[in-house]
Chains A and B, each alone.
Chain A
Amino acid sequence: MESIFDETYQTTIGVKVDKKVVSVDQKDVTLVLWDIHGEDVFQKMRMNYLRGMSGYLLVVDPTRRQTLEDALALQTRVQEAMGPIPWILVLNKCDRIAEWEIDLERIGASERNRQAVVRTSAKTSEGVEEAFWRLAQAMLHSPC
């Protein structure tokens, strides 16, 4: 699957639709993935994209502190628009943890507050499957 978790990843324009099958509770679950471009000075996200969404991964580049701020601000807006649906905070580039600039204390507090956080690496693929699996599991067990 070509995605944000690929090292050769090209910037997303709009939405890239993809599919992925994960096994949860010994059943195959097909996820229809919408890889939506991140928000920055060049692009703003259309909230209409989120209609019908069952869960989401928020992917952060921890070597750039601002991406966490942007992601959390986006999460607040998504929650306001969609209500409390499952989401996973994905901290990418865990192979370069020495360069992380983000506030780990804040992340720890989120985890203690039962917010799922997964560390991934596009370079080694570490944590990528876990991120999708945990999201699928959370969606299947979500009361929403």
Chain B
Amino acid sequence: MPPESIYDAWLAHEALALFEFRGGGVFEPLAPLPAWCVSLWQVGQDESVRLAEKSPFLENFLAEAEEFWTSPTRGARNSGYWVEQDSQGQQYPLEASAIWLAGKRVLTVRSLPGAYRGQQRLFQTAREALLTHERLLREIEKKEILLHCIIHDLSQPLTSMRSCFDLLLGKVAPDVAKFVMTGHRESQRQERMIRGILEAFSADLAGDQSSTQAAAPSADLVSCARRAVEQFAPAFTQRGIQLILAPYWDSERGSRVVGDAPRVDRIFGNLLENALRHSPTGSTVEVSLEDGGPVMTAFVDDQGPGLPKDSSRDHLFALFSKAGDHPGKAGLGLYFCKMTVERWGGAIGAENRAEGGSRFWFRLPRASQESATRSVATDVKSPAAPLSLETAWKPVDKARHIVVADDDEISREMVVEVLRARGHRVTGVVDGRAALAAFERIKPEVLVVDQHMPEMDGLAVARAIRQKERQTGAARVTLIGLSGNASGEDELHALEAGMDALLGKPFEPNTLFQAIERPVEASRPAALPTITAPPEDLRSHLTRMTGGDEKLARKLVAGFLADFPTKLSAIERAVSHRDADGLASSAHALRGAFSLFDARQSGLAARNLEAMGRDHRFEGAAEEFRTLSADLSRLEGELRALFPPSSSPTKPSRGRARSHKKP
């Protein structure tokens, strides 16, 4: 050992032990050993030592070190940190390096308590920050859901209050009526305020204040899908599952949809997490996109066990819903997806695939028609125009016998009272089975059924009644569904079940009257009555839809007038040639703009045609087409009256609908 020198003092200061490897597991100190080394390993200052016997960690590392010393590699081989403790419980954070020094195989071992604790603090802080971040994300999601629930619960009674004011209005003296109108106006104002709070809070929770601005946010669905696949690919790979993004070619319309990108990312994330949880090793999960004209649809297909038996869509996407006893997450993910997508005017669903596995999908309106498409989900829910004495309803000319089925007493009584005030004969029942019994016993002309009732829901009631009618040849009863959540997809399900219309709660009494009092046609599912709205009503509607932006309204009208003849011709062609796929896609492509113009008859006709196309069913299609064409002629006339060609920036379309041939 060399005599003590400044070099030795420096080694001691650095708490650095320096050994030469002599072969056969033997190490010899090259300098006086630091105190920690003596204390921990009980090594004498001038003694050779078998370090592998002193430290289990070094036993492991020395195999690496010997590899290094026998290889031509130069530089150093580092062990990384490890911690050992001596017989007194004193802990020593250590780090070893194998190096070549002056032709000798040298092992350095250093005690680095300060650096170790520094790094430990850094990692601890980073990990705690990560945990806090995860916790906050979960809190945000829970609060968001809670907020939606509160908003829903606050909104529901307002519907009843507003209807009560409506009822009172026809029964009180004019000097009292002004107070009733104030109550009505204030309840409307509160509804608007609640929705405003929801919008503002949702934007805040998403960390995106931009969504409170006039323009709805938009997201590029292709980019979101690509980002999600890239983000989740490592997790899938770890589980031995292939995650692929199916090729998608951008159309000239682009791929921007209503919605903000971080939330669309979360929707993809939730669906992919769900797929990851249920996919077996060796399977493939595919994300694909579909251009549906005014909407875009994203699919996540897996090859897992499929959806649980007896799991309805409502259950699957319900709050805190979990598959069986499956813990998974808190049951919020799919609920979040549903709430978010539907708030943007879209829809979400899941089904079993014929080839095995499940398919989850969500559909969002294109951003280019955001004002129009946002209204799809909100048109029946949005606050009504201010009530005036002139708009208070008058007794109907022809009273109908109506059965109202709703398990919620207040909602049921409200509908019953409103319809009685209108002059109808009304029977209220408490559930779906009672509705069926009443149908048999009373033979009503109209049934108004709540969509969600225990034991037998509205859809089941509709199916049972339609089946009964087919079996007995009885006259077709008018079936109106009520739902607290009437998305486009819900409406489609309702129509497929045999309902004539689905109204979202809250709804305007006049909307209910229109649905009920239209002529019943036995040959086909009836649509809502023609809405002969005078031009000024259409203008008001457009103004509301576009937030008073006349330039935008003109642009949308001009675009629609230029575009719809081609689409209408495509429907006509598909009906003539009995082209089912063509009918479904062309009818679907035309539907998007109808809510913008409050063209409900056109919307329902197009929806019926789309359903016929999907079902390869052409009976009544020609008639449905004529209904559509006629209503579009009316709409075209009204739109041209609102925005005459001279004031329109785009050239008027050449005459079309009126000259259509009958298919």
Contacts and interface: CB of A to CB of B under 8 A. Distances in A.
Interface of A: 10-11, 13-18, 32, 34, 40-43, 46, 48-49, 51-52, 64-65, 69, 72-73, 76, 100-105
Q: Which 5 A-B pairs have the closest CB atoms?
A: A14-B81, A73-B238, A15-B82, A16-B83, A11-B124
Interface in B41-96: 55-57, 59-61, 63-64, 80-85, 93
Interface stretch (B324-332, B505-513, B607-615): B324-332
Interface stretch (B115-123, B252-260, B472-480): B115-123
Contacts of B127: 11, 40, 42
B81 A13 contact: yes
B126 interface: yes
Nearest to B330: A101
30 contacts: A10-B124, A11-B127, A13-B93, A13-B120, A15-B57, A15-B80, A15-B83, A16-B82, A16-B83, A17-B55, A17-B57, A17-B84, A18-B85, A34-B57, A41-B130, A42-B123, A51-B60, A52-B60, A64-B131, A65-B328, A69-B235, A69-B239, A72-B238, A100-B327, A101-B328, A101-B329, A103-B277, A103-B328, A104-B326, A105-B325
Nearest to A61: B131
B204 interface: no
A43 B329 contact: no
B326 A14 contact: no
Interface in B122-160: 123-124, 126-127, 130-131, 134
Contacts of B55: 17
Contacts of B81: 13-15
Given A11-B120, A42-B123, A104-B325, A48 B60 contact: yes
B238 A17 contact: no
A49 B60 contact: yes
A25 B235 CA distance: 41
B173 to A, nearest CB: 59
Contacts of B277: 103
Interface in B159-199: none
Interface in B381-438: none
A13 B123 contact: yes
Residue among B84, B123, B235, B327 with most chain A CB within 10 A: B327
B120 A103 contact: no
B321 to A, nearest CB: 15
A101 B64 contact: no
Residue among B80, B235, B325 with most chain A CB within 10 A: B80
Nearest to A106: B277
Contact of A73 (B63, B126, B239, B328): B239
A84 B327 CA distance: 30
Interface residues of B, number: 35
A71 B328 CA distance: 17
A14 B80 contact: yes
A48 B83 CA distance: 16
B270 to A, nearest CB: 13
Nearest to A65: B329
B56 A32 contact: yes
Contacts of B59: 52
Contacts of A32: 56
B311 to A, nearest CB: 15
B375 to A, nearest CB: 38
Nearest to A64: B134
A141 B327 CA distance: 34
Given A11-B123, A13-B116, A48-B64, A103 B326 contact: yes
Given A11-B124, A64-B134, 9 more contacts: A13-B119, A14-B80, A15-B83, A52-B60, A64-B131, A73-B238, A101-B327, A101-B328, A105-B326
B125 to A, nearest CB: 9
A17 B56 contact: yes
Nearest to B81: A14
Nearest to B134: A64
A104 B55 CA distance: 40
B60 A42 contact: no
Contacts of A65: 328-329
Contacts of B84: 17
Nearest to B128: A11
Contacts of B124: 10-11
B63 A51 contact: yes
Contacts of A69: 235, 238-239
A5 to B, nearest CB: 16
A109 B85 CA distance: 40
A11 B116 CA distance: 11
Contacts of A18: 85
Contacts of B330: 101
Contacts of A10: 120, 124
Interface string B89-115: 000010000000000000000000000
A17 B83 contact: yes
Nearest to A18: B85
Residue among A11, A51, A103 with most chain B CB within 10 A: A11
B239 A14 contact: no
Contact of A42 (B57, B80, B126, B327): B126
B651 to A, nearest CB: 58
Interface in B597-638: none
Nearest to A14: B81
Contacts of B326: 103-105
B606 to A, nearest CB: 43
B93 to A, nearest CB: 8
Contacts of A15: 57, 80-83
A24 B131 CA distance: 38
Contacts of B64: 48
Nearest to B79: A14
Contacts of A102: 327
Contacts of A49: 60
Interface in B326-345: 326-330
Contacts of A43: 123
A112 B56 CA distance: 35
A108 to B, nearest CB: 10
Contacts of A48: 60-61, 64
A24 B22 CA distance: 40
B649 to A, nearest CB: 53
B96 to A, nearest CB: 11
A141 to B, nearest CB: 23
